[in-house]
C-alpha cells in the first residue's frame, strides 16, 4: 500500500497494490499492521455502505467530539468526487477542502481524520461507496455543513442543475452556524 499525503495535514490517500491477471484482480483494501508501520494507527469498529445515482451529493457530515470519527472511504462500483473539509480551528488549513476522484477502477481510498467534514458527489451512473469508521454512529453527536457554503466554495464537479440532495442535507447550516468542537 502506498500513502499519498495531501496538502492538508492528516488527510491521506491510500493506494493499494493491485495484482491483475486473466482471472481478474486481487488487492488488500486494508491491513491494520501495515498501515501502523507507515505511521497510521487505525482501528475500525463500523462499516457503512451507500448506493447513489448520478448527481447525488451526500454531505457535508461529521460527528462532534468526543464521538468524532476517522473514516476510510472507498468505492466498490462507479466513481465519486470525495471531499473533506478541515474543521480543526487550530489548523493552518482550517476550512480548506480537498477533493479526490475515487472509483472502482482506481481503487484509491481517502483517509479522513477526526475533525473533518465529509461529503461526495456521484460522477457515474451510480456509485456504491463503503466507508469504515473508528467510532460508532452517535445521532446526538451528528453535525453538518451546507454543501454549497460560499465560504468553503466546493466544486462538486457536476452541473448545479443536476444536483440531487436529501431534504436533511439541504437544511444543514452554513459554516457560521454549524456546531463544531475540534
Q: Which residues are catalytic?
A: 61, 131
- Could you tell me which of 137, 105, 149 has the C-alpha nearest to residue 123? 105
| Calculated CA dihedral for residues 90, 93, 83, 156, nearest 10 degrees | 130
> CB within 8 A of 169, min separation 6: which ones?
57, 58, 59, 144, 146, 147
Lookup: cell for 3: 500513502
Q: Within 13 A of 101's CA, how many CA atoms are on the CB side?
A: 10
Amino acid at each position: 500500500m502506498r500513502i499519498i499525503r495531501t496538502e492538508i495535514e492528516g488527510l491521506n490517500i491510500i493506494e493499494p497494490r493491485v495484482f491483475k491477471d486473466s482471472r481478474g484482480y486481487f488487492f488488500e483494501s486494508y491491513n491494520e499492521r501495515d498501515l501502523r508501520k507507515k505511521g497510521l494507527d487505525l482501528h475500525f469498529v463500523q462499516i457503512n455502505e451507500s448506493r447513489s445515482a448520478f448527481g447525488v451529493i451526500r454531505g457535508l457530515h461529521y460527528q462532534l467530539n468526543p464521538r468524532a470519527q476517522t473514516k476510510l472511504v472507498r468505492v466498490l462500483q462507479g466513481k465519486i468526487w470525495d471531499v473533506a473539509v478541515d474543521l480543526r480551528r487550530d489548523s493552518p488549513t482550517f476550512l480548506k477542502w480537498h477533493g479526490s476522484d475515487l472509483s472502482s477502477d482506481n481503487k484509491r481510498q481517502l483517509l479522513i481524520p477526526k475533525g473533518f467534514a465529509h461529503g461526495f458527489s456521484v460522477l457515474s451512473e451510480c456509485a456504491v461507496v463503503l466507508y469504515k469508521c473508528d467510532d460508532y454512529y452517535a445521532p446526538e453527536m451528528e453535525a453538518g455543513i451546507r454543501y454549497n457554503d460560499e465560504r468553503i466554495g466546493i466544486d462538486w464537479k457536476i452541473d448545479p442543475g443536476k444536483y440531487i440532495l436529501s431534504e436533511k442535507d439541504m437544511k444543514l447550516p452554513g459554516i457560521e452556524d454549524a456546531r463544531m468542537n475540534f
